[in-house]
Structure formats: structure tokens, C-alpha cells
Structure 1
Amino acid sequence: MEPSKAAVIAVANHKGGCGKTTTCINLADNLAQMGKSVLVIDMDPQANSSLHIGLNHPAEIRYTAAEMLLNLELPLQAFIHTDTRVEGVALIYGSMGLETIGDTLKNNHPRPNEVLRARLEPLLDHIDYIIIDCPPSLQILTMNALAASTHYLVPLESGAPYGAYGLSDLNKRVGQIKLINPTLDFLGALLIWHDDRLSLCRQNEEDATKMFGKVIPIKIGTSSKINQSAAIKVPLRLIDKNNHIAKQYKELAEHIDGVVAQEYA
């Protein structure tokens, strides 16, 4: 990848519990292990990524993603925490404050969906990857994330009934955001908690292929290590690098880096 071109990846799905945060953390960790400079931006008011990889509780952080979008006078570096629980991964914390900023952005900015895009511009020449953990919503925070991104992927809970149900709404929003970000590239639907042996998972994979047209070839299975990872706040790799989920996230990072490198070649 050319050092002057950061890949900004939004991990988006307006459904909760589909593996967005797990994907953000482990994708960022594995990219950092590959020698890439990585920043995670937690755009979710629940701040689960921040709780997992941050050294402090989000409530203790003065300058979070909410303030970054509201206080445009402060330089971006005021919001970036380079010391985290994940080596090589920096963090912009999420916070509950993100819940209430929608109206302020709409009232104070002529292009409220493009505030994050403008904020990140000075950073793009100095980092390899920015991973954005989107909230379970299609409102202004997710729209800002998509408008600011070069790529996006959609985690889809393959092992759940109707895993792809309702995601046509996300496709519609992406269509709208491409009016202001026409080069936004779709990495694919990422099948989470997937088991090829189960008819439900096979059906969800078929549905995802029909709906999105592209499914990432690496599929993420199930493991008790995922909850253990969240409980002790470390990436899966540090619990058991030979665990099949840890290996799958490593393969995912390698796949995405290969796609991005080919595009930027």
C-alpha cells in the first residue's frame, strides 16, 4: 500500500450482536501484527471497542469521538490515544455523548454527513488503516462513517434465523452516501458464527450473496474464546493463536490487505 493512502474501513450493520466490535478489534490487531499502522474509531455510543482495547473507561476520557465531531477547533491528535491494550493499535474513544449529537450536527453543518470525513483528512497521509466501529443504527453516525470511508464490510450473523433480513435498508443508505462518496468500495458481507454444516448458515450465505453480490471468502466460526476475549479485554490471538477463530481473523486481515494493496498498486 502507498503510505500516502490510508484505507478507511467502516464495519457497518444496523443490527446489534452481529460481531461488529469483535471484527473491528481482531482485524485491527492482525493488521498491526502485519506491521501496519492502525487506528480504531469507536462511533458507537455503547463504546464496546473502547471498553475492550482502551486503557481507561470511556467516561474518564475528556475528548472522545463525540467531541471530535462537535469541537472542530481542537486538532485531531487531541483525540487519538496511542496507548491501548492492543499493541500497535491507536484508539479514538466512543462515548454515550454520541447518542445526542445528531441534531447538533444537522443544525450546525451544511453537510452534516461529512463532518468525520473532513476531520480525518489530515491523518490520511500518515497511517495505513482506520477501522470504524459503527453503531447499530443507520442514522447520522453511520452515515458519517460511510462518507469518510474508502471501504466498508457488513458482518452478518450467519447462524441466526433471518440473518440477512432488513439489510436491504443498509444497501439503500450506501446508495445515498455514494452520491457524496462515489468511490466507496464494498469489501463484502462477512459471515459471522458460520458453520457450513448447518442448513441455516448455508441459507444465510445464499441470501447474503443475493442481497450484496459479494461475500468475503473467509468465514468466521463460533468459539467460547470470543466471550473470553471480551471478558479479559485482549484480542483472540493472545488467548490462543491456534484457535480457529483467531486464525480466521488473521486470514481476514491478510485478505483485506491484499485487496487494498491491489487497488492502490
Structure 2
Amino acid sequence: MKYRAQMTKKTSVIAVANHKGGCGKTTTVVNLSAELAKMGLSVLVIDLDPQANASLHIGKKHPSEVPVTCAELLLSEVEKLPQSIDDDTNIDGVSLIYGSLALGKTEDELKDDVPRPSEELRDKIKHLHGIYDVILIDCPPSLKLLTSNALAAATHLIIPIESGSQYGMYGVTDLMKLVEKIKRINPELELIGALLIRHDERQTVCKLIEASAKDQIGKLIDVRIPTSTKVNQSAIAQMSLHALDRTSKVSREFRRLAEVIAKQLNLVEGVDQA
């Protein structure tokens, strides 16, 4: 299927959040951004994780070489916003605001020095609305201030769940409580749903996690991302799964995820069969 972006540009800001580590947040952000860009959409990735794995994957520079990362942007005036955006990345059509180890310290400074510490990112990126079709925010494995900033700035939320782990749902109740709290300052935040990662429908644990996610989160995205060694291969090669092997099952599922989200958010119009 071929697509074209809608003529009227309304920016969707999608936070990918779950405070459990290793559940596929960065993998989702990287490959969803690549697939949306393949549809002809303009995409920006904001890396809010101090580990900066999305930046190491997408970016051509090391975060330590970047003068204005998310850390500096959050603590500066909005005039630094253009300096923070890098359009020359490893994925065509995807721009990047780098993450940084300094984000850990930034979180403390926001809490101590800023009147509305959860709203700094929203105040900065509101100036990008109408410029990008989609902004994807890679959140840290934490429910602290950085994740609160992402949720306060977002129009939509995806919650990756590690389906293949018996601990996949650990702490999700706390995340949902934070979402409800943030809705007091961002009532427009809409849950797209839980995204099952490393899912194998033959395994009992995956079936149990799927049922639990539906019960606790309420909405499941109708896509299942399977386990694949190609995920690590693509990260090492600093390529999207599409670029590495577009025929692999995991690549096809990320393509389907992009199609589902683009249609749900009215980002594209189908044109004709390719």
C-alpha cells in the first residue's frame, strides 16, 4: 500500500513509556520512526533516556559530542530548540534530539529550579507543532520527572510490554496512576494501547501477559512483535529493521504497527496498492 501524508499537518506526539527496563521502548521508537518516515511522514525522535540508546542507534554522533541535547534543552530558553535538532541521522526522514547521561542531573535541577517542572518539555516542543507529522519520545525506565515531562507533552501513549517475561506487567499499575495524575495538566493525553513485545502465542506466559495487559491497561494494539536476533543486529549496525531485512517477520510487524497507528491518528491516506 502506498500512502501520502494528510495535507493539513497536525502533529501527533507519541510517548513510548514503561518504567520496566528492557521491555522494548527504544526498539519501538527506532523502528516505528523508520516505518512512519517510509510513509512520507516527517518524524522527530526525542531521546529522554539518560542511557541514550535511541541516540546511539539513530544518531551519527556520540551524545557526548552534541552541544545541545535534551539535557541542555530542558534547562534552557526555547531559543536553543533549533540547535538541539539534528536532521542528519542514520534513518532517512527521521530527525533527532539527542539524549545524554546529563539527563539524570537535569531531572534534579528541574525539580529544584523550575516552577512547573513537569511541563518544560511541553513548553519547548509546542513550537514544533505543525512542523513535524509525528514526534516520538523515548522515555527512561523510570516514573520520575523525565517520564512526567514526556507524558505532559504527549498527545498519545504507547506502553510496550515484554510479553515473554513473567515480570512483564511488573509495576504497570503505578504507571497507569502516573498517567491519570498527568491528565490533570494534559487532559488530551490518549492511550493508543499496550504493545506486546517478544510475543510468542504458543507460550503460556505470553498468553497470561496478554490477558493481564488487557485487564490492567484496557487497550491492546492489534500487533504482536516477535522475538528476533535481528533486533540486536540492527542496533549494532545502526540501521532500522526495515533497512536490515525488510522481509523478516519482526520488520513486517513494525511496518504493520506503523500502518495501524498512522491510520488511527489520521496521519496518512491510502492511495493504491504498490
TM-score, scaled relative to structure 2: 0.94
Partner Cα separation in structure 1 for residue 78 and residue 44 of structure 2: 21
| Matching residue within 225, 229, 232 for 1:227 | 232
Match of 1:203 in 2: 208
Partner Cα separation in structure 2 for residue 242 and residue 224 of structure 1: 14
Match of 2:64 in 1: 59
Partner Cα separation in structure 2 for residue 104 and residue 193 of structure 1: 36
Counterpart contact for 2:68–2:80, Cα < 8 Å: no
Match of 2:141 in 1: 136
| Matching residue within 154, 157, 160 for 1:152 | 157
Q: How far did residue 103 of structure 1 move?
A: 2.4
1:216-264 Cα shifts (integer Å, max 9, x gaps): 00010011111101111100011111000000000000100111018xx
Structure 1 SS opposite 2:14 = strand
Partner Cα separation in structure 2 for residue 100 and residue 87 of structure 1: 32
Match of 2:23 in 1: 18
Aligned partner letter, 2:184: L
Is 1:253 the equivalent of 2:258? yes
1:2/1:142 CA distance change after superposition, 3 Å:
farther
Match of 1:33 in 2: 38
1:164-189 Cα shifts (integer Å, max 9, x gaps): 12110000000100000001000000
Structure 2 SS opposite 1:155 = strand
1:9-30 Cα shifts (integer Å, max 9, x gaps): 0000001100000000000000
Structure 1 residue runs of 4+, over 3 Å off? Answer: 1-4
Aligned partner letter, 1:51: L
How many residues end up aligned between the 2 structures?
263
1:73/1:7 CA distance change after superposition, 3 Å:
closer
Aligned partner letter, 2:174: D
Structure 1 SS opposite 2:222 = coil
**Map 1:154-233 → 2, pairs under 5 A:** 154-233=159-238
1:127-156 Cα shifts (integer Å, max 9, x gaps): 100000000000000000000000010000
Counterpart contact for 1:3–1:127, Cα < 8 Å: no
Partner Cα separation in structure 2 for residue 228 and residue 220 of structure 1: 16
Match of 1:46 in 2: 51
Aligned partner letter, 2:93: G
1:194/1:125 CA distance change after superposition, 3 Å:
same
Match of 2:94 in 1: 89
Partner Cα separation in structure 2 for residue 215 and residue 119 of structure 1: 31
Structure 2 SS opposite 1:216 = strand
Point out where structure 1 has 5 or more consecutive residues left out of the alignment. none
Partner Cα separation in structure 2 for residue 32 and residue 54 of structure 1: 15
More strand by share: 2
Counterpart contact for 1:158–1:191, Cα < 8 Å: yes
Aligned partner letter, 1:199: T
Point out where structure 2 has 5 or more consecutive residues left out of the alignment. 1-5, 268-274
Partner Cα separation in structure 2 for residue 5 and residue 109 of structure 1: 29
Partner Cα separation in structure 2 for residue 82 and residue 102 of structure 1: 26
Q: How far did residue 74 of structure 1 move?
A: 2.8
Is 1:102 the equivalent of 2:107? yes
Identity score, percent: 51
Structure 2 SS opposite 1:21 = helix
Q: How far did residue 72 of structure 1 move?
A: 1.2
| Matching residue within 77, 84, 93 for 1:79 | 84
Partner Cα separation in structure 1 for residue 148 and residue 207 of structure 2: 30
Aligned partner letter, 1:258: K
Partner Cα separation in structure 2 for residue 98 and residue 164 of structure 1: 26
Partner Cα separation in structure 1 for residue 191 and residue 242 of structure 2: 26
Structure 2 SS opposite 1:194 = coil
